[in-house]
Chains A and B, each alone.
Chain A
Amino acid sequence: MEYYGWAGTILRVDLTKGKIRRQPLPKDLALNFIGGRGFNSKILYDEVDPNVDAFSPENKLIFGTGPCTGTLVPCSGRWTVTAKSPSTEAFGDANAGGHWGAEMKWAGYDCIVFEGAAKEPVYLWIDDDHVELRDASHLWGLDTWETTDAIRKEHGDLEIKVACIGPAGENLIIPACVISDYTRGAGKCGMGAVMGSKRLKAIAIRGTKGVRVAHPEEFVDAVEEGIEILRTGDQWWFENFSKYGTPIFVMMFQTLGCLPTYNWREGVFEGAKELSGETLLDKYVKKKRACHACVFHCSGYYVVEEGPYAGAMGEGIEYEATGGFGSKLGNADLASTCAAKTLCDKMGIDLINCTDTVGWAMECYEKGILTSKETDGLDMSWGNAEAILEAIRRMAYREGRFGELLAMGSYKASKVVGKGAERYSITIKGQQMGLVDPRVMWAWGLGFGTSTRGGDHLRTQPAGEYMFTPEEMEKYIGTAKASDRYGWEGKGMLVAWYQNIRAVHDSLEMCKYFFRGEPRLYVEFPPKVLTALTGFKWTYDHILRCGERIYNVEKAFNVKVGLGRKDDYLPERFYKEPYTKGPYKGAVMPKENYDKALDEYYRARGWDLKTSNPTRARLEELGLKYIADELEKMGRLGKE
């Protein structure tokens, strides 16, 4: 079948046998799972036994682009990589921007599914229709920047786009990620480690085919209309985010009292101003760059020119770096956060997992659970920037006893250390959380708890909780009460809606920042643009239903692994340890309220309140009868 929007081909690479084959994209998959994340999730559910070891050859590693990837659609350069996760031991995926996704699409592929594992290091070279596995033994051991340069040199083409792993992925450390375009990390869930376990060093692509559009004029109109709604309807966001990028969140979240500080103990940081987006722009950002087709260009190209971190440079310095290596670690030295970000990119380490793991180690050090004996002499006191950088290096190379410990990520490391260290691992389902403190942002808390890939802010990212007016909340979600960020009522509905619509954004492979504070964009933009792009008629209701279907497929994978309601709670710190300072001094999220919100959430999802398992009725409504049958066989179908 000839497709518009989608490339129409799934590429299958058997790394064990060294065989490559092409499979036409099934129409059912396209129309019911949209693309990218949706395709990957469905393939993982259907083809991977949830109980295999994440590092076994039976696990699959799936890269996906969406129908919008590589088109004029704003912020459409994203791609998703999916596998069973070594950090959560359950469903895992990660998503990145940049230009690599567009190149994959232009080469003619919606998905690349890696099966098995190579005996020796290899990389996949794609030059449109020419696809081959190449020896990568000369690349093994190189960092991600060196790898990218070496591959480009090998092919004599500086425009080739490369996604690869660094030493972290090769060494199978849990915080390892996949890096594309030098600085764009698909960070969550240890996808870099799964890639390392398959001895797949890189995927290098030259794509020249473009994307076919069904109705070009309507498509351009839809794109222009979307940009206009963003520019006028969300003027504050459009102007400020373009200028500062995500580092703007340092002061935004400081104002809201939810800037994670000292490993999530507090919600305000005395050094926040030094870490702010404004300071970053003044001191280190030299120019702004953008992912494919982005209207914001949020991505700061930074250079540290003097001082102990002179030479640190890179692109896409984000709040997760400035806040994560900053307030979360009690560190007000902005230049050191830039240096840490550069090092993580080169090593191929996820910033969130890394900063949380180092934060955990610092708190354990403060409490005497880890001493200089366990840290191999490293002084892990709060704010010790030198120690932060050294810890990252040791983590990547599993160097010494401390490096081995950090390589497990905070969740697994805390279990090995014991002595109460688990209390300081701020993780959900084994996954570290994005940088928003739920004590004063309750929908974010519920979103973290119920995310299908563990403690993750992006599965939900309910920006509307503090950006939509109560009137917008009433109209689009059904209750103005969800606007009260300290109230539980309406939060279940809000989070379920957000998770469904975010699954759509991830499957279109669009950046979530495009939609952030303007509800009209969530509702009006996707059906218009998809209809013009693909030639099929899409409605908002159908699209939202696709998002719900994707979420249920991921949930079902986790149910098969054995996860349930008990795993949907936050770390105890957020219920029991109030802030001791700042405008929200005393704030906690009362557990009984979280429970009520969780009930409301399961009700909104049509899942069993007691177990959280999906029910037959809801699964069948979503066209997932076969999943209902499988869960029933396992005795894990939710009660109506």
Chain B
Amino acid sequence: MDVGQQVEDLESLIKSEGLEGLIGETHRLILSSLEKGNKTATEVLREIEGKHYITSYWQVVRALLQLKRIRCVREVGRRRTETTTAGIEPIYAITANGRHLLKTLEKRRSRSRS
């Protein structure tokens, strides 16, 4: 899949999932955290808590599931956790789509800062 194809896929995926205008800084922070290694939502939160108003585990869970719906992250395993009632959490990895989205979001961010 070339880069142009990925962009097209992402845009239509975002639209078909009803996520237009809803993918932003939260998702950039999560993707850059996953770029450094596979993580659970708890581990991602530990790294990004306090940035961009992110102050709860469930904000991260929700954003991760949105990223999963547009195939920017995928589940690569499960880990026991103290955090949730379920006692088990998925481990997420960034995908090729995710890396592309990360670049796009980073560009957007540096544009808005300059």
B92 → A minimal CB distance (Å): 13
Hey, what's the 0/1 contact readout for A560-578 against B, CB within 8 Å counting as 1? Answer: 0000000000000000000
Residues of chain A within 8 A of B65, CB atoms compared = 235-236
A479 and chain B: residue at smallest CB distance: B53
| 30-57 of chain B: CB within 8 A of chain A | 52-57
Q: Which of the candidate stretches B4-12, B15-23, B94-102 sits at the interface with the other chain?
A: B15-23
Hey, what's the 0/1 contact readout for A72-102 against B, CB within 8 Å counting as 1? Answer: 0000000000000000000000000000000
Q: Are A278 and B87 in contact (CB under 8 A)?
A: yes
Q: Are A470 and B53 in contact (CB under 8 A)?
A: yes
Q: Are A470 and B56 in contact (CB under 8 A)?
A: no
- Say yes or no for A507: interface residue by CB 8 A criterion: no
Q: Are B62 and A276 in contact (CB under 8 A)?
A: no
Hey, what's the 0/1 contact readout for B77-91 against A, CB within 8 Å counting as 1? Answer: 000000111110000
Residues of chain A within 8 A of B21, CB atoms compared = 471, 475
A256 and chain B: residue at smallest CB distance: B56
Interface size class of B (residues with CB under 8 A): 20 to 34
A249 → B minimal CB distance (Å): 9
| 413-466 of chain A: CB within 8 A of chain B | 465-466
With known contacts A233-B18, A235-B65, A466-B56, A471–B85 Cβ distance under 8 A:
no
> CA–CA, A233 to B66, complex, Å?
8
Residues of chain B within 8 A of A234, CB atoms compared = 62
Q: Are A471 and B84 in contact (CB under 8 A)?
A: no
Q: Are B56 and A485 in contact (CB under 8 A)?
A: yes
> CA–CA, A484 to B53, complex, Å?
4
Q: Are B22 and A480 in contact (CB under 8 A)?
A: no
> How many of A's residues come within 8 Å of B, CB to CB?
40
Hey, what's the 0/1 contact readout for A481-521 against B, CB within 8 Å counting as 1? Answer: 11111110000000000000000000000000000010010
Q: Are A483 and B84 in contact (CB under 8 A)?
A: no
> CA–CA, A252 to B57, complex, Å?
9
With known contacts A251-B85, A475-B21, A484-B53, A469–B66 Cβ distance under 8 A:
yes
Chain B residues in contact with chain A, CB under 8 A?
17-18, 21-27, 52-59, 61-63, 65-66, 69, 83-87
- Say yes or no for A378: interface residue by CB 8 A criterion: no
Q: List 30 A-B contacts (CB under 8 A).
A: A229-B18, A240-B84, A240-B86, A248-B85, A251-B85, A277-B85, A466-B57, A466-B59, A467-B58, A468-B62, A469-B22, A469-B26, A469-B27, A470-B25, A470-B26, A470-B52, A470-B54, A470-B59, A471-B22, A471-B25, A471-B27, A475-B21, A480-B52, A481-B53, A483-B53, A484-B53, A484-B55, A485-B56, A487-B53, A520-B18
- Name which of A470, A475, A485, A487 has the most chain B CB atoms within 10 A of its CB: A470
Q: Are A244 and B18 in contact (CB under 8 A)?
A: no
A490 and chain B: residue at smallest CB distance: B53
- Say yes or no for A472: interface residue by CB 8 A criterion: yes
- Name which of B24, B62, B65 has the most chain A CB atoms within 10 A of its CB: B62
Q: Is the interface of A mostly helix, strand, loop or mixed?
A: helix
Contact of A278 among B22, B26, B61, B86 (CB under 8 A): B86
Residues of chain A within 8 A of B59, CB atoms compared = 466-470, 483
With known contacts A467-B59, A520-B18, A240–B53 Cβ distance under 8 A:
no
- Say yes or no for A321: interface residue by CB 8 A criterion: no
> CA–CA, A481 to B55, complex, Å?
11
Q: Are A471 and B23 in contact (CB under 8 A)?
A: yes
> CA–CA, A436 to B75, complex, Å?
32
- Say yes or no for A250: interface residue by CB 8 A criterion: yes
Residues of chain B within 8 A of A485, CB atoms compared = 55-56
Q: Are B54 and A244 in contact (CB under 8 A)?
A: no
Q: Can you list the 5 inter-chain pairs with the closest CB atoms, starting with the nearest?
A: A466-B56, A483-B53, A484-B53, A251-B85, A471-B24
A473 and chain B: residue at smallest CB distance: B53
- Name which of A278, A466, A471 has the most chain B CB atoms within 10 A of its CB: A471
B21 → A minimal CB distance (Å): 6
Residues of chain B within 8 A of A51, CB atoms compared = none
With known contacts A255-B83, A520-B18, A470–B58 Cβ distance under 8 A:
no
B55 and chain A: residue at smallest CB distance: A485
> CA–CA, A243 to B84, complex, Å?
13
B81 → A minimal CB distance (Å): 10
> CA–CA, A232 to B18, complex, Å?
10
> CA–CA, A413 to B114, complex, Å?
62
Residues of chain B within 8 A of A255, CB atoms compared = 57, 83-84
- Name which of B24, B53, B83 has the most chain A CB atoms within 10 A of its CB: B53
